[in-house]
Chains A and B, each alone.
Chain A
Amino acid sequence: MNIPTIAELAAKGETPEVLFWVGCAGSYDDRYKRVTVSFVKILNAVGVKFAVLGTEETCTGDPARRAGNEFLFQMQAMANIQVLDGYGIKKIVTACPHCFNTLKNEYPELGGHYEVIHHSTFLQQLINNGQIKMKEGGSFKGRKITYHDSCYLGRANNIYEAPREVLQALDADLVEMKRCRTTGLCCGAGGAQMFKEPEKGKQDINVVRAEEALNTGATTIAVACPFCMTMMSDGVKNKEKENEVKVKDLAELIAEAQGL
């Protein structure tokens, strides 16, 4: 598999069309690494000239900022901006809505100006302009899929339709949960909750959300965020449905449909 780093391209005097920002979960989390690989396969299949930062990438600082540690966030942001600007990066695609939000909305104030795009929008564009061609009546025909809105795509950045259009292209049966789009229920991981135990309460948020998803009768729960992936998978396991119901990222579904 071809995974060029930006340093390799720079050594050859080349610049990529787009930088794929992998993110910490995409780099280290065993489950989300498979999403990273799926997305790279799609990029290669379509022939998009991309690059990754490899070991030069570091945390955007999102969890630090949301947990209140502004110093740490800005240290991370400044260091990342220096690297990105050093390579003359103009356009970034990422499969993590948290990285996406931080790079897009919070780096400009610190001097980092890039065109930042989430992989759901990127995939939608590839489908719309014909670079990804979906086969009629593929393996997804009739499969019930429900989409779980990531807060950092939906409410945070008003991206509700792009992921749904990607799923519709699969020719699958898209069913909605009761709470969706602007009223979508959080998976419970945002705001740095991913990294700590929840406060005392009656239920776990991810279990409640998983129940909602299971109630749709869908056999696939589509997500577009590494934290939602973890939370929803755990929720489905909690309900002992992991054999019947799969939690998949958009990129994995597209790669699967394309036979990649």
Chain B
Amino acid sequence: MAIVQQVVFLLVLVAAGVFVRKRVLRLRDNILLGKKEELTGDKSQRIKNVLLVAFGQRKMFKRPLPAILHLFVYVGFLVINLEVLEFVIDGLAGTHRIFAPFLGSFYGVLMNFFEFLAAAVLIACVLFLLRRNVVRIPRFWSAEMTQWPRTDANLILVTEIILMFAIFSMNAADQVLQTRDHHYVATGSLFFSSFLIPLFQNLSTTTLIITERFAWWFHIIGILGFAIYVTYSKHLHIFLAFFNTYAAKLEPKGHINNMPVVTREVKSMLGLTVAETTPAAAEAPPGRFGAKDINDLSSNLLLSAYSCTECGRCTSECPANLTGKKLSPRKIMMDVRDRMDEVGHSIAAGGKGLDDGKTLLNDYITKEEINACTSCNACVEACPVLINPLEIILELRRYVAMEESGSPAQWNAVFQNIETNFAPWKFSAADRFNWSKVS
């Protein structure tokens, strides 16, 4: 019987591993649809960002209540996964609580700590569900939070709650079994799960063994299922936040990325020497100006779209969105991700991929949305994982202005004024210094 369980466990583990690998490769391919962009600047600052912002959750704490609840879930996730290590070894070796004999009484302390975290995770998830569905915090209900994004969030929360109950049930049944069967190693009293002991005390040993095994299998399969589910979900942030904070822009937020291809053209138009151009760069096809589709964006920006967990802090701070305009920075990120998924899926199925007649601009993100942005950086400042929706908006605007000449008429007038009078308004350049006379 034991060997059957071990074989089944091995098969389940391998199957989950193969599937997760396939998904990770797909995500990687999708991200690599973007343009390659070298990460420049201070590496130690990048590492600092990972440690403070991703690992240390610093920016979460701008809003203390959700930050503390999130911290419980985050620490719970990290630490309880240590227990999963024991699960995997036990599953493969057919042992039970293999670490217990080595750790002695410390094992009980450790298990109690895990149970404490499990309880904290459980409470946090219940409160999160209430915030989303009962209190209905506006940022979880804005326009782009359609059926699926809302379900995605709720599914994960409910799953976590069930998984935590599985741990408690397993430990409760286990504690009763410890008094009846020496196969069940003594763990000492486990505080939280002991509340459930009355439910199990009067059950027969066989029923208890089945209950304990069921909870064990439920928990480990739940976790493996979660690993697969994450790759389809906004919950990718639990891994990608670390990469994204590393790749995040280091320049002051006011800085807009330069376009060297334009610099070369402008320099040659002005008759300036184009010294720093390497022959390879000069011969490279210029490509599109700005971005019309995901392959015009850098891979770093595509990575950031997968790092977004749709918390909506960006949108809740966006002046355009707050005043009823269509622009939502969160929707920008969700659109980029959805378009990547669509293209990736099409390519994998031997379809047309990027040439499917759709584009990020127009089919996902409208001009009305990008035109409403004030470039105020409130969204960038608000993001707990250093995502920059503004960079994407500006790249889309560049495409509209330079490839389509499709900017709003008033902007085209500004362009014309700057070209002819060197000021955005229709005033004569000769009058620029007139302010000195009136004073």
Contact = CB atoms under 8 A, between A and B. Distances in A.
Nearest to B276: A111
- Contact-residue bracket for chain B: 35 or more
Contact of A183 (B317, B411, B423, B431): B317
B381 interface: yes
Interface stretch (A129-137, A165-173, A191-199): A191-199
B254 A69 contact: no
Nearest to A23: B423
A240 to B, nearest CB: 20
Contacts of B376: 151, 155, 186, 190-191
B363 interface: no
Contacts of B252: 101, 105, 156-158
Interface string B255-274: 11011001101110110100
B251 interface: yes
Interface string A47-71: 0000010110111010111111111
Interface in A64-99: 64-72, 74-76, 78-79
A201 B323 contact: yes
Nearest to A202: B324
Interface stretch (A25-33, A213-221, A244-252): A25-33
Nearest to B275: A111
Contact of B423 (A27, A66, A79, A194): A27
B266 A75 contact: yes
Which one of B267, B272, B374 has the greatest number of beta carbons of chain A within 10 Å? B374
B412 to A, nearest CB: 9
Contacts of B380: 155
B256 A55 contact: no
Interface string B380-423: 11100000000000101111111000011011011100110011
A149 B333 CA distance: 27
B433 interface: yes
A68 B402 contact: yes
Nearest to A101: B254
| Interface residue range, chain A | 35 or more
B435 A186 contact: no
Nearest to B270: A78
Interface stretch (B69-77, B98-106, B112-120, B365-373): B365-373
Contact of A68 (B258, B272, B394): B394
Contact of B375 (A75, A190, A204): A190
Interface string A118-154: 0000000000000000000000000000000001100
A70 B418 contact: no
B206 interface: no
Interface string A179-215: 0001101101111111111111111110010000000
Contacts of B317: 183
A192 B371 CA distance: 9
B415 A69 contact: yes
Interface in B236-294: 251-256, 258-259, 262-263, 265-267, 269-270, 272, 289-290
B320 A182 contact: no
Contacts of B266: 71, 74-75, 78
B432 A66 contact: no
Given A24-B424, A186-B319, A74 B263 contact: yes
Contacts of A11: none
Contacts of B262: 70-71, 74
A65 B401 CA distance: 10
Given A197-B410, A202-B324, A66 B381 contact: no
B65 interface: no
B301 interface: no
8 contacts: A37-B439, A63-B424, A68-B396, A68-B399, A69-B411, A76-B418, A101-B254, A185-B319
Closest 3 CB pairs of A and B: A156-B254, A202-B324, A191-B375
